[in-house]
Amino acid sequence: MSISRGCTIWFTGLSGAGKSTITEHLVPMLHARGCKVEVLDGDVVRTNLSKGLGFSREDRDINIRRIGFVCNLLSRNGVVAIAAAISPYKSVRDENRALIIDFIEVYVKVSLETCIQRDVKGLYKKAIAGEIKEFTGVSDPYEPPENPEVICETEKETPPESAEKIINKMEELGYLARA
């Protein structure tokens, strides 16, 4: 069964929380249900759409607004747009929620300690050593969402279980027909 309308699934969480990993499980599940899906991964967007932006609060806000703009275009045209970006600041996430009518916020909740353990890129190590300035969760704040539609706790559930939670919420909200 296909969706009746597009929507944006907005992942937020620390670097290493599991946003991209859950997305990798979610996309084939949505394709199997007949959905058109586009993923806007934070790292990929920075390389292509937001090249030249740094990591100041202003640059991060610009990046997140750009992702929101593209998600809005996609979702209003029947696509499930998935934004997988840290999106550390509540105010800009709220701007995107106001812009995008069909918006599902997914908080990928995990402890900083677990993110440090999962850190395959070595970014936390560099940030803690002071080699990376303005690193979310270390030297720059992360503001968790207050009322996300879905909370995925990646220390307690597997990526497929997290993806299934999102599918269930999409069914509950009427974006997917019940399987």
What does the pLDDT read at residue 4?
Answer: 60
Q: Mean pLDDT for each consecutive 10-residue tract of the chain (179 residues)?
A: 76 95 97 95 79 83 93 96 95 96 97 93 90 87 95 97 98 91
Give dist(CA 159, CA 109) in Å, integer.
12
Between the two ends of the chain, the Cα-to-Cα distance in Å is 8
Q: Measured in whole angstroms, how far is the alpha carbon of residue 50 from the centre of its chain?
A: 16
Give dist(CA 29, CA 33) in Å, integer.
7
Burial level of 68, CB count in 10 A (0-12/13-18/19+)?
Answer: buried
- Among candidate residues 20, 50, 87, 162, the one labeled active-site is 87
Catalytic annotation on 162? no
- Domains of the chain in start order, with CATH, are 7-111+142-173 (3.40.50.300)
Q: What is the CA radius of gyration of the chain?
A: 16
What does the pLDDT read at residue 50?
Answer: 75
